Copies of this chain bind each other. A is one copy, B any other.
Amino acid sequence: MTNPFFQPVSAMELARFAGVPTFMRLPGLTPKDDRINEVDIGIIGIPWDGGTTNRPGARHGPRQLRDYSTMIRAMNPVTGVAPFTMVNCADLGDVAPNPVDIEDTMNRVTSFYDDLTERGITPLTAGGDHLTTLPVLRALAKSEPLGLIQFDSHTDLFDSYFGGYKYTHGTPFRRAVEEGLVDPKRFVQVGIRGTAYNTEDIDWAEAQGIRIIRIEELFDRGIDDVMAEVREIVGTGQTYCTYDIDFVDPTYAPGTGTPEIGGPNSFQAQQVIRQLSGVNLVGADLVEVAPPFDAAGGTAWLGISLMFELLCVLAQAVDARR
Contacts and interface: CB of A to CB of B under 8 A. Distances in A.
Given A75-B197, A78-B216, A197-B73, A49 B56 contact: yes
A184 to B, nearest CB: 21
A16 B54 contact: yes
B13 A96 contact: yes
Contact of A267 (B15, B16, B19, B219): B219
Contact of A261 (B21, B55, B258, B266): B266
At the interface, is chain A mostly helix, strand, loop or mixed?
Answer: loop
Interface residues of A, number: 96
A147 to B, nearest CB: 25
B19 A77 contact: no
Q: How many copies does the complex hold?
A: 6
Nearest to A202: B77
A72 interface: yes
A183 interface: no
B54 A259 contact: no
Interface string A189-201: 0001111111100
Nearest to A216: B78
Nearest to A169: B100
A94 B19 contact: yes
Interface in A22-39: 22, 28
A97 interface: yes
A91 B19 CA distance: 11
B198 A53 contact: no
Given A12-B197, A28-B20, A63-B67, A165 B100 contact: yes
Interface in A69-116: 71-78, 91, 93-102, 104
Contacts of A72: 195
Nearest to A171: B100
Interface in A150-202: 161-163, 165, 167-168, 192-199
Given A15-B59, A18-B95, A20-B20, 18 more contacts: A14-B94, A73-B195, A74-B196, A74-B197, A75-B199, A77-B192, A78-B216, A98-B162, A98-B163, A99-B168, A100-B161, A101-B162, A215-B267, A249-B265, A251-B266, A261-B266, A261-B269, A262-B267
